[in-house]
Amino acid sequence: MSLVRGLVALFVVAFAVVLQVSLFPHFAWDGIVPNLSLLVVVGAALVRGPKFAATLGFVAGLTIDLAPPADHIAGRWALALVLVGYLAGRVRQASKPSASAVVVAVAASSFIGSSIYAFSGLLLRDPVVNVTDMLTTILIAVVWDVLLTPFVLPPVMLLFQRLQPARVAF
């Protein structure tokens, strides 16, 4: 049963990555698209906590790193999304998070995730882009992610709640 759950999670992540590269470029602002896989990871984190979300973040990040047309050094998005999953998971509340809390979590996660990715690029000199451009891109990406939150987060959170292994308590 846990294999099926894993496969469903993997499918959701792969679907998010495909939409991100194949559908959203048609609506992109200067090529900046909403980071759908990051939204999925944050959604999972808010429902399932840091351990699950960090693992899911690793899988999602690796998919972005390896799926065409990616050409950057593999492991950079994985690193960013592992940390995003962990941090977003840490602020999870036992009760259902309020709408504003979700939006704040998404905005913070998006900023942190894109920044870690960009910073790793600076360290590795992967693509040499100046910092002002990076910050503009990251901030526009945050706006995109927040705009998409009401459409993506509720179904994702519901899905991962359903996928949760049955609990004995309650």
Partner 1 sequence: MLGLDRRTRRRTGLDQFEGRFGGERRPARGTLITLLLACATLITLDYHGGPDSPLEPARAAVGEVLGPIESATSTAVRPFVAIPDWFHSQSSLRGDVAALEAENSALRRQLETSGLDTQRLAEYDALAKAQRDSGYQLVPARVIAMGPSQAFSRTVTIDAGSDDGITADETVLNNDGLVGRVLRTTTTTATVLLILDADSTVGGRIGSNLEVGFLNGQGKLGQDGNLLLDLVDDSLIPSRDDVVVTWGSQGGAPYVAGIPIGRVTSVMSSPRETSQQAVIEPFVDFGALDLVGVVVPAGTPGNRSLEAAR
State yes or no: residue 151 binds partner 1 (CB under 8 A): no
Long-range contacts of 54-62, Cβ-Cβ distance < 8 Å, separation of 24 or more: 54/82, 54/83, 54/85, 54/86, 54/89, 55/85, 56/9, 56/13, 56/85, 57/81, 57/82, 57/83, 57/84, 57/85, 57/86, 58/82, 58/85, 59/9, 59/10, 59/13, 60/13, 60/16, 60/17, 61/37
Q: Interface residues for partner 1 in 125-144 (CB under 8 A)?
A: 126-129, 133-134, 137-138, 141
Q: Which is nearer to partner 1, 13 or 156 (CB)?
A: 13
Residue 169 sits at φ, ψ, to 5 deg, of: -70, -175
Q: Which of residues 75-104 bind partner 1 (CB under 8 A)?
A: 75-79, 82-83, 86, 89-91, 93-95
Exactly one of 5, 8, 10, 19 binds partner 1 (CB under 8 A); which one? Answer: 19
Pick the piece of the chain touching partner 1 (CB under 8 A) from 1-9, 31-39, 150-158.
31-39
Does 160 participate in binding partner 1 (rule CB under 8 A)? Answer: no
Provide the greatest CA pair distance for the chain: 53
Q: Minimum distance from CB of 68 to partner 1 (Å)?
A: 4
Residue of the chain from 8, 10, 14, 103 that contacts partner 1 (CB under 8 A): 14
C-alpha 109/C-alpha 84 separation (Å) is 6
| Candidates 2-10, 16-24, 151-159; binding stretch for partner 1 (CB under 8 A) | 16-24
**Six-digit token pair at 29?**
């602002």
**What's the one-letter identity of residue 76?**
R
Residues near partner 1 (CB under 8 A), total: 73
Rounded to a whole number of angstroms, the minimum distance from the CB of residue 29 to partner 1 is 7
Between 86 and 160, CB nearer to partner 1: 86
- Give 29's DSSP letter: B
One of 46, 109, 117, 149 touching partner 1 (CB under 8 A): 117
